[in-house]
Amino acid sequence: MEKKILIVEDNDVFRNYLYQVLKYDYDVTAVSTPLAALESLENHKFSLMITDLRMPGMDGRDLVIKVHKRLDANLMVIVITAFEDDWPVDDAMSSHVFRYLKKGAFMPSELRQNVDKALEMRDSMVMLDTYQRSSKADNGVYWDLFEHMADAFFVCDVHLRPIVLNKGFETLTGYGLDAFKAGTLVDLIDIEYRQPAKEVFDRLIKGLSPACPEIGIRHKDGSAIKVHVWAKFVNDVSGLSHAIIGVVHDVQKIPLAGEGMAGLPGKSGRGIPAFGDDFSRIVERVDDIVLLFDNNLVCRYVNARIKTILGYAPEEIINRAVAWKDIVCPEDYHLVTGFIGSIHRKKTQDRVYHADIRVRNLKGEHLSLSCHAFIGYNSKGDLAGVDVFAEDITQRVMAEERLKEANKKILELNTRLSKDVGKRIHKLRASESRYRQIVEGSGDVVFSVDKKGCLLFMNKKGRSVLGMDIADILGKPYLDFISGVHPNKAMDAAISMAVKGEEPLSFDSQVETTSGTRVFNSLLKKTGQGDEYICVSRDITKEVAKNKRLTLLANIEHYSADAIMGLDNDRNIISWNHGAAMMFGWREDEVLGKSAFIIIPDEARTEATGIMDRVKKEGFVRDMETKRKTRDGEILCVSLTLTAIRNKQGNAIGFSAMIRDITSQKKMEEALVQTERLAAAGKISASIAHEINNPLYGIKSCLNHVLNTKKMEIDTGFVRLAIKESDRIADLIRNMKTFYMPTEGRVITRDMNDLVKDLVVFNRKYLEENRVKLNVIKGDNTTVECVADQIKQVFLNLFTNAVEAMPNGGRLEIETKSEGSCVKVIFRDTGIGITDDDMDHIFDMFYSKKPKVKGVGIGLSVSYGIVNRHGGNIEVKSYDGNGTTFTVVLPVKTAWGRQMSLDLR
């Protein structure tokens, strides 16, 4: 197989890339311009040209067309371009180009595969051309016959313009070739026959059956002649790609039976006076066998050519009925019998008959004859005779057989390429496209390098990552794009392992990309195509960062001061961090596989089971306050966050628990609550003193009046008034005891209207002193389960804050209302409001905007904690300078009464 390849590419880098890829397996010449390519093609024989399209001086399309037209029509061409619009793929592939590749979109192995296929196709075309040349008949063999036959012969183009006319044609029509310089054969035809004749010739040109029309023509002298025309559409005649060759017979001069055959051997029965000696001279010189039969199909004349071709002497044939069965091969004998039967049935129809017939000569050798039979009828329409011209086409048939064999080999080659060597090519072509799409559409970077680490190919993803064109990448060292310390060691080690055939190991490298430094994990293998190594690199930047985060999270989880543990569905411990070990006193190995109930006090186990069932159903419980116990039996107050762990199907497979020790916080909170209570007690003491002092002053006045009256004149009205004021003091003391009597955290049912009423009774004086008008709006069904003294503490704090927010007086509205499963208690004031900056901090411990003498900043924080433990919430709406609304939302039924208790001991 010839492997001489010419590369035409003006880009130095890409030309060198193509040369490096192919130089190991082929004889490669690389030039930079189309003119240099033409010069190389004129001086050397190449099998394949690989060319770019867009080049200076002459584009690749013009170069290909010029080469195919002037130098080598069979030169295979592969186009590699980045500008497909310069020569549309369909147009290129259908005319001059074997393969069309896009720059940067193919791998070196793909290029070599296409080169191999192109060279195989070139060999096939050369083989076919050789067979075609060997099978062409020599057109000059029959020239003498053509020129001297009495019949009129012609050759014309598809427009019926004559190219060659023999003397017989000039004799018949009076016109030679010179007469048709500006005309066509149609000019000879009578007008009434022109349209039918044109239709017949159009059918002929379209490749349909040979034409045999009977038409009228005009002689040069003006006389009318009726002729029979036999014509055939052929290829490659007289330098034309297409032509028509035909024979014209004068119908009136066709020799008829009984007219005599003067001057010829076997004269009896058929004469040919119009031919005379000329006929004898011509038919004896021609290479065809000429046989003339009478109306009984007895041979009356045969030329000497029968001896040369079949071995029979003319005298063995003349005046005898030919024994066709002895001459014609059995498989073609039906053609003879069919013809003989048809000439009697069809009579005046089909005056010309043609068939290729296989015969045997006297030596038993098989020959092929192309037979043309011209049938003559007398004036009554009966058979007059048959003239047969038999051409020996054995060599031509053999050549055609060789050509068929060559074509068969080509088809077999193509079949192998589509099935074996051929099923494979078909598969390969389909897979090439598929693999190209896979490689180009891959989310990973795919590139190849030579053994020195220089880039030979990079896919679309790689070029996008680097932000570079393929021409800026090819041929450059891989290390140009790598950062970090000693980046070449990993690549060198990978190439070394690939050369030895060892199992490749992946390696990581840092690459400078358009989006900064990225980390890629690469796997390199040898392709089997020379010293080329393919490498697939995956961006693992996010994975590296994720692994770092996971490592950090694992360390945080392990060393967290809070207890973090994992439980399975059976509540057994499956993970236990350092914080859990420090908090509860058990090491991890001591608790793994054991029940989580080891850290739950006995009285809290029912509650714990309920919590887990709730979490399994709802997903999580957050910051729930409960009790847990240590290894030593110490009871801890803890904040528990419990989350259900689910699989992909959404089924719970376990729990994660985070436990924070809030024992110290709870003690501090209790102290803060006590402090707040003391502060509240101080605030109401003045109101209590005022409420008690008024009746005391009344009692004192009544008693003084009694002492100053005469004996036996005591005014009983004053005594009754004193008693009434004493009862009033008793009521005040009783109400005060009820309002602030500790409940020790017991959950009871109380009406929020009653709590608001008690609040107002003991703060009437406080409202008067601060010039605040009070409006109470009572709702229905406002009873809730609560720790009453804790809720009083919340209401007192909100009440006091509202009054203090109106230093110049104002209006306070307290409203109670029921909404579904909740009761709301709303405090609306017309005070100074809360700024946006302060709003985010109002529930923070020790955060206060009041003067130091008025508060320490724990009231709202404690209040929020109390309401939150009741399962409720405090909502706030405020506008700076336009008042504030606090809404306490409490559930009617408290689910976790136990955890709301505050130990006040």
Give the confidence band of 751 by pLDDT, cuts at 50, 70, 90.
Answer: very high
pLDDT tens, position by position, 384-428 = 888 888 888 888 788 777 767 766 665 565 555 444 444 444 554
Residue 376 forms beta bridges with which residues? Answer: 385
Q: Are 245 and 237 in contact (CB under 8 A)?
A: yes
pLDDT tens, position by position, 638-671 = 888 999 888 888 888 888 889 988 888 777 777 7
- pLDDT confidence of residue 476: 82
pLDDT tens, position by position, 213-258 = 788 998 888 888 888 787 777 765 545 567 887 888 777 654 433 3
Note the helical H segments in 708-787.
716-739, 752-761, 764-769
- The encoded tokens of residue 40 equal 């190389």
- pLDDT confidence of residue 350: 57
- pLDDT confidence of residue 776: 93
Give the confidence band of 777 by pLDDT, cuts at 50, 70, 90.
Answer: very high
Q: What average pLDDT score do residues 561-578 get?
A: 87
pLDDT tens, position by position, 802-846 = 998 998 999 999 999 999 899 999 999 999 988 888 887 787 655
- Which one of 39-53, 412-426, 752-766 scores highest in mean pLDDT? 39-53
Q: What average pLDDT score do residues 73-90 get?
A: 78
- Which one of 279-283, 447-451, 767-771 scores highest in mean pLDDT? 767-771
pLDDT tens, position by position, 579-607 = 888 889 999 889 888 998 899 998 888 88
Residue 896 has pLDDT above 50, yes or no: yes
Report which of residues 419 and 173 the model is more confident about.
173
Report which of residues 644 and 441 the model is more confident about.
644
Report which of residues 166 and 551 the model is more confident about.
166
Give the integer Cα–Cα distance in Å for 490 and 522. 10
Residue 46 has pLDDT above 60, yes or no: yes
- pLDDT confidence of residue 891: 94
Give the integer Cα–Cα distance in Å for 441 and 450. 23
Give the integer Cα–Cα distance in Å for 855 and 849. 9
- pLDDT confidence of residue 889: 95
Q: Within 13 Å of residue 157, how many CA atoms lie on the same side as its CB?
A: 10
pLDDT tens, position by position, 678-711 = 665 565 565 566 567 666 766 776 777 677 776 6
Q: What average pLDDT score do residues 31-41 get?
A: 90
Give the integer Cα–Cα distance in Å for 766 and 691. 11
Give the integer Cα–Cα distance in Å for 220 and 188. 9
- pLDDT confidence of residue 209: 56
Residue 752 has pLDDT above 80, yes or no: yes
- pLDDT confidence of residue 810: 93
- pLDDT confidence of residue 418: 43
Give the confidence band of 8 by pLDDT, cuts at 50, 70, 90.
Answer: very high
Residues 6+ apart with CB under 8 A from 192: 216
- pLDDT confidence of residue 890: 94
- pLDDT confidence of residue 302: 86
Give the confidence band of 873 by pLDDT, cuts at 50, 70, 90.
Answer: very high
Give the integer Cα–Cα distance in Å for 742 and 162. 133
Residue 885 has pLDDT above 70, yes or no: yes
pLDDT tens, position by position, 248-282 = 877 765 443 333 332 233 333 333 333 344 445 55
Residue 435 has pLDDT above 70, yes or no: no
Residue 891 forms beta bridges with which residues? Answer: 822
Q: Are 336 and 355 in contact (CB under 8 A)?
A: no
Residue 349 has pLDDT above 70, yes or no: no
- pLDDT confidence of residue 268: 32
Residue 893 has pLDDT above 80, yes or no: yes
Give the integer Cα–Cα distance in Å for 220 and 172. 9
Query: Which stretch of 233-237, 374-378, 894-898 has the lowest confidence by average pLDDT?
Result: 894-898
Which has the closest alpha carbon to 366: 375, 376, 356? Answer: 356
Residue 784 forms beta bridges with which residues? Answer: 750
Residue 714 has pLDDT above 70, yes or no: no
Report which of residues 811 and 109 the model is more confident about.
811
- pLDDT confidence of residue 137: 36
Average pLDDT across the chain, whole number = 77
Report which of residues 839 and 501 the model is more confident about.
839
- pLDDT confidence of residue 680: 58
Which has the closest alpha carbon to 820: 740, 896, 901, 893? Answer: 893
- pLDDT confidence of residue 119: 83
The pTM of the full predicted model, rounded to 2 decimals, is 0.31
Q: Are 453 and 478 in contact (CB under 8 A)?
A: yes
- pLDDT confidence of residue 811: 94
Give the confidence band of 887 by pLDDT, cuts at 50, 70, 90.
Answer: very high
Q: Are 652 and 645 in contact (CB under 8 A)?
A: yes
Percent of the chain past pLDDT 90, that is, above it, reads: 10
Q: Are 815 and 825 in contact (CB under 8 A)?
A: yes
Count CB atoms within 10 A of the CB of residue 734. 10
Which has the closest alpha carbon to 149: 168, 173, 162? Answer: 168
Percent of the chain past pLDDT 70, that is, above it, reads: 73
3-class DSSP state for residue 1? coil
- pLDDT confidence of residue 677: 60
What are the E-state strand segments in 484-550? Answer: 507-513, 516-526, 532-539
pLDDT tens, position by position, 281-327 = 555 656 778 888 888 888 888 888 888 888 988 888 888 888 888 89
Tokens 């004086």 sit at which residue?
765
